[in-house]
Structure 1
Amino acid sequence: MKKYVAILSDLEMRILEGQYGPGRKLPSVRSAAESYGCSISTVTRAYGELERRHVIYSIPQSGYYVVGKSEDGASDTPCRMIDFSSVLPDADVFPYLDFQHCLNKAIDTYKHQLFTYGNWKGLEKLRHTLVSHLADDQVFTGADRIVMTSGAHQALELLARMPFPNGKQAVLVEQPGYDIYLRFLEAEGIPVSGIARSTAGIDLVELERKFKDGGIKFFYTMSRYHNPLGTSYSTEERKAIAGLASKYDVYIVEDDYMADLGEERSFDPIHAYNRTSHVIYLKSFSKIIFPGLRLGAAVLPERLLETYHAYKLVSDASLLSQAALEVYIKNGMYERHKRKIIRQYTERIQALNEAVERYNAAGVIEVPDIRSGIYVPFKLPLTVNLEQLTKRLASRKISVMSSKRFYLADYLKRDKFLRISISQAQPEQIDEGVKAIIEEVRRESR
């Protein structure tokens, strides 16, 4: 199965990248088997799967050919804008046909469960499937502690509003941090304070002080592929944060929304190091499949379940989507699609790093060493006017995200940077975009 999945993923990526363009003939089954070092039947199975998904078609006694794009397909529309601002997955790799198949299968399998109100925690079968799925990320839990959510943001809102057993009130957030959540906390009047996080990490002494004296209900953190910094906490930092949570009775809300998008196989989340059930672990499935799915999962400590239920009340995440996701994960489609996305993003990050090395010889911007995920911050000279820079780049049809929006309104110690996202930037655009950014930064910093 692993060999078959690897071959299928490789063929799909080659087609996506244009190595096998529309109408192009694929290698013969025998030739592909020799190339991949596998049996003819394994290649035949992979080709058959691609044909079933309408990616390729066969001509008897001729071979297999790549299907041409439809006239209204996204890939046929020339994209002049270089989009370094969007965090949405690339629409060209959305698994439409796979998920359509899973929806149909879900209706057949769960038809007697999909059209009721359902359990407030979510579809039981999916929650049991997620037990082993989460264990792959070193998150060990039981199905009774998993709650399906309508996106991870729903869980974040509920957790901010509800009381916690420690009786504390304030939410501690990283600065910079997730902009939409920051705006929510400010708009709702929820007590919130910030702690500086840089690409080098976090000051653990300062974090301990805030845990001890700050009346912190929970600390919201993105331990892996932070938005907007793109970096991850070291093993030592994750262990230390887990220990401080237990020592000072402060909860950790660990938003691991990009857990599936990197190549760090040995990364254990904070949840794995905490032995006192002080970590709420959040995972999103929208970033790996498509945003419209709006499904996430929260792993809650047992002592929070009753209060969380009181604030959530009912199941509001689509049962049909949950059932389809269960089928998608169980039959291996999720794992195969994940590998394809990881490969795509890794290649784009590599292209970005190569472009920075090529055009930033003078050190006009500071760029951390990031090899996976989707974000890379470009730290700017203090003399650069962010508003003017973003306008100049927009005039050159380059969309970027300014660092201003990633801070609380009253937080003063701010770095000046651009958050660069590669999720929507096409490989052939990355070099051009990086070159233009460095040109404009040089111009603004004179």
Structure 2
Amino acid sequence: MLKYELIYSKLMNKIQTGTLQAGAKLPSIRNLSQAFSCNKSTVMTALKKLEDQHLIYALPKSGYYVVDHQLPYKPQVNNCIDFATSSPSWHAFPYKDFQHCINKAIDTYQADLFRYGTARGLPSLITEVKKLLETYQIFTNEDNIFITSGVQQSLFLLSVMPFPNNRTTILVEQPSYHLYMDYLKTYQLPVKGIKRTMEGIDLAELESIFKKYDIKFFYTMPRLQNPLGTSFSKKEKDDIRKLAYKYDVYIVEDDYLADFDQNTKTDPLFTDDTEEHVIYLKSFSKIMFPGLRIGLAILPNAFIDTFQQYKNTTDIDSAMISQAALELYLKSGMFERYKKKVSEIYTMRANTLQQSIKTYLSKYKATTEICMHSHIELPREVNVNRLIQHLAQQHIYLATADHNFLNGFYRERILKLNVSNVDNPKIETGIKEIAHALNQPNHYF
């Protein structure tokens, strides 16, 4: 073993065992060179290696200090089958690649990262985002793109800011995005629901609501809807747009799973919007990781000034370091390579999920689209809570769609099935156990 590797190994051991804890000062270079009978450059090589691994940092004219003595967390292997969690498998993300982007962003932008940014977001990120959007058949000007702290911030701002149609009531699909439903309920905003099923929505009912109520905007997920896992056909999207134009209702399109749609011919509602009535939202949470908290909104020209004014009162700008790192991640081609890899994994899981549902749960009404989340509709006689509790004892975790509904709205008995965090070999096992439990009538009926 080379002398610098020995020094590195000894210091690493002291850091990992907690002998040198976070904030502790390392022995001086002179003391280390004496202790290991070597020259100072050898010690510096060892310290440089520890510094490159972000285990220590240098303080000019003072010395080296420990950043953190804890080892990086490694995902634990467990035997649970989690159909309830919808966030992506965090340990599948290529952290080393993104770490390069964070380090490079700090080197490249330096002082810019420690000033307040622009209200619309980092200009260089907006440029890269515009290129990405064009691959989804989304064509717009950079001036219409806003970087936000996730889709939630966009929804919050759009819900409270005035619209050109001077209306106040929000229309939402039922069921829909649970965090937005919680937001609407918490702040008691004027809201109405419209039923969405595997067959879509009743367009006659939609027109009746548009005509009768002062609908400000209609919030919808046309593609791979959460929690249903279904998509609108082109005709449905065309018809919804026509009704929006006719009754001067805006559409807020949440395209959160654009990266996973296997049908390359599917265009968003925004693509064919000729009258600037569609607001397009996208998040990077599902394809990357929720903690990044970066989303985007594409706004019609009439909304830009008002949205910017309201956004300025919430956070001035989304985290600059995250924006700069994401810009480099997109520009370098890392995002495209990672998207391809993770899409293949999720598509494999989605296929296994659909096949398993067809094999073991064929008597229940279920989504047929290839998506990482699906659901089955249960008959009224099934005690859903007892079913979930029973399967939890076998380490199979499930959730109902109760949080995806507004208070007082009729709720279908939906059992959500999400494979974002379920390894492919476990999916069939889990679905088989669900079917077995449902076939025990004395226990649940």
Same fold (TM over 0.5): yes
What's the TM-score once normalised by structure 2's chain length? 0.81
Give the aligned residue type for 2:438.
Answer: V
What residue identity is the alignment partner of 2:342? Answer: I
Residue deviations 1:381-419, cap 9 Å, x none? 22111111111111121111102221111112x211111
1:163-312 alignment runs, 5 A limit: 163-312=162-311
Q: Once the 2 structures are TM-superposed, how far is the Cα of residue 79 of structure 1 from its aligned partner?
A: 1.3
Between structure 1 and structure 2, the one with the greater Rg is 2
The answer as to 2:403 corresponding to 1:402 is no
On the 8 A contact 1:242/1:274 being kept in 2, the answer is yes
Name the SS for the 1:102 alignment partner: helix
Match in the other structure for 1:379? 377
* SS of the residue 2:193 aligns to: strand
Q: Deviations over 1:241-296 (max 9, x none)?
A: 12221111111110111111221211110111211111110010121111111100
Contact 1:222 1:256 in 2 (8 A): yes
Task: State the AA in 2 paired with 1:291.
Answer: P
Deviations 1:197-250 (A, max 9, x none): 011111111111111221100000011111100111111111111222111111
TM-score w.r.t. the length of structure 1 is: 0.81
Asked if structure 1 preserves the Cα contact closer than 8 Å seen for 2:118 and 2:317, the reply is no
Aligned pair 1:426/2:388, yes or no? Answer: no
Is residue 120–residue 317 contact of structure 2 (8 Å, CA) maintained in 1? no
- Name the CA distance, whole Å, in 2 between partners of 1:122 and 1:243: 32
Q: Is the 8 A contact 1:242 1:271 kept in 2?
A: no
Q: Is 1:332 aligned with 2:333?
A: yes
2:78 matched residue in structure 1: 79
Question: How large is the RMSD of aligned CA atoms in angstroms?
Answer: 1.6
Q: Distance in 2 between matches of 1:358 and 1:73?
A: 38
Assess if the C-alpha contact under 8 Å between 1:74 and 1:91 holds in 2.
no
AA of the residue aligned to 1:429: K
**1:416 pairs with 2:413:** yes
Conserved in 1, the CA contact under 8 Å of 2:87 and 2:421? yes
Contact 1:220-1:252 within 8 A present in 2 as well: yes
Question: 5+ residue gaps in structure 2?
Answer: 1-70
In structure 1, what is the equivalent of residue 97 of structure 2?
A: 98
In 2: Cα distance, 1:177 partner to 1:240 partner: 20
**In percent, how many aligned pairs have the same letter?**
43
Structure 1 residue runs without a partner (length 5+): 1-70
How many angstroms apart in 1 are the aligned matches of 2:142 and 2:110? 22
Out of 361, 386, 389, the residue aligned to residue 388 of structure 1 is 386
Aligned to 1:138: 137
Paired residue type of 1:379? E
Q: Distance in 1 between matches of 2:286 and 2:361?
A: 30
Whole-angstrom distance in 1 between the partners of 2:196 and 2:358:
25
Kept in 2, the 8 Å contact 1:122–1:315? The answer is no
Equivalent pair of 2:181/2:403 in contact (CA under 8 Å): no
Equivalent residue pairs, number:
372
Q: Aligned partners of 1:81 and 1:408: how far apart in 2?
A: 31
Q: Do the aligned partners of 1:246 and 1:274 also contact (CA within 8 Å) in 2?
A: no
Distance (whole Å) between structure 1 residues aligned to residue 72 and residue 121 of structure 2: 36
